[in-house]
């Protein structure tokens, strides 16, 4: 599933092609993705694209009339193509521009979304999200207050979008490894020093992934069709049974909250150890 760095990479990729351009047409080839595609999207035709923003894993294409909200789901991707390029299987939505380019949305599993938001109205999918991890709002003091007296394991805690957005499964495992914290540690038992380190590592891991173009998974490619490169830097995720890059112990794997989790039993330890 594309995570925050992949979505941010998509935003950076499409922005030069869309910003300042006028929307000529919106072609919808399927009625429903994760949710029905609203007819209100057609109100954006004839509007000039003012900006492309990201909130959590959602992209917003803003115009004076309103915004298109896009979620890539598990297998969605965006490409900027010449409008004469024929659509292919699973190409569900085209946003055609007057400059002859088209933003094309492909999604084999149809778990993504195209939604509409009026100007000045926050869509309900964005209403209960926590702070962005790369902002000053997400800091050790905020984390400590949210974690206070909670028994939730730390991996599930940092993957909770109501706490902080965009720390998905891959980056949660990587950040916890870098912070030397076991993923099953009760978050309320973390020391202030551990929280400080973990917050810093979450930011660092995400920033590195964005810089390198997102993580290469079987369903993700950048807007130009090239794969991301952060997978070359993964320390524990997807490496069960392989040697830890620090101590050479075997990387362990277990489902935590229904998600595959990876860690080093020697480098990462529970808070009470």
The residues that are catalytic are: 2-3, 57, 259
User: Per residue in 176-190, is it b (16+ CB within 10 Å) or e — as a string?
Assistant: bbbbbbbbbbbbbeb
How far is residue 59's CA from residue 71's CA, in Å, rounded to a whole number? Answer: 7
Q: Which residue's entry shows tokens 């300042």?
A: 20
Phi, psi of 159 (to 5 degrees): -90, 0
How far is residue 237's CA from residue 172's CA, in Å, rounded to a whole number? Answer: 9
- Map residue 231 onto helix, strand or coil: helix
- Asked whether 260 and 169 are in contact (CB, 8 A), the reply is yes
How far is residue 106's CA from residue 193's CA, in Å, rounded to a whole number? Answer: 44
Q: Which residue's entry shows tokens 């551990």?
A: 194
H helices present in the chain, as ranges: 4-18, 140-147, 154-158, 169-178, 192-212
Residue 25 pairs in a beta bridge with 96
How far is residue 47's CA from residue 95's CA, in Å, rounded to a whole number? Answer: 12
- Asked whether 80 and 62 are in contact (CB, 8 A), the reply is no
């Amino acid at each position: 599933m594309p995570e925050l760095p992949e979505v941010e990479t998509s935003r950076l990729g499409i922005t030069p092609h869309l910003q300042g351009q006028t929307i000529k047409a919106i072609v919808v080839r399927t009625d429903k993705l994760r949710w029905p595609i609203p007819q209100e999207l057609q109100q954006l035709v004839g509007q000039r694209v003012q900006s492309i923003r990201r909130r959590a894993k959602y992209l917003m294409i803003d115009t004076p009339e309103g915004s298109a909200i896009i979620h890539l789901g598990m297998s969605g991707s965006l490409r900027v193509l010449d409008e004469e390029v024929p659509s292919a299987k699973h190409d569900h939505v085209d946003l055609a521009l007057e400059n002859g380019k088209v933003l094309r949305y492909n999604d084999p599993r149809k778990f993504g979304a195209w939604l509409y938001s009026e100007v000045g109205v926050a869509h309900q999918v964005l209403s209960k999200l926590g702070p962005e991890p790369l902002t000053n709002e997400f800091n050790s003091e905020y984390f400590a207050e949210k974690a206070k007296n909670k028994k939730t394991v730390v991996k599930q805690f940092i993957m909770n979008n109501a706490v902080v957005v965009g720390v998905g499964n891959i980056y949660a495992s990587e950040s916890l490894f870098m912070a030397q914290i076991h993923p099953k540690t009760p978050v309320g038992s973390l020391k202030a020093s551990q929280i400080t380190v973990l917050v810093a590592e979450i930011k660092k891991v995400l920033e590195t992934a964005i810089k390198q173009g997102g993580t290469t998974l079987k369903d993700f490619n950048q807007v130009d069709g090239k794969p991301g490169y952060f997978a070359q830097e993964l320390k524990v995720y997807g490496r069960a049974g392989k040697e830890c890059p620090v101590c050479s112990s075997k990387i362990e794997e277990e489902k935590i909250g229904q998600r595959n989790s990876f860690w080093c039993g020697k480098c990462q330890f529970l808070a009470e150890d």
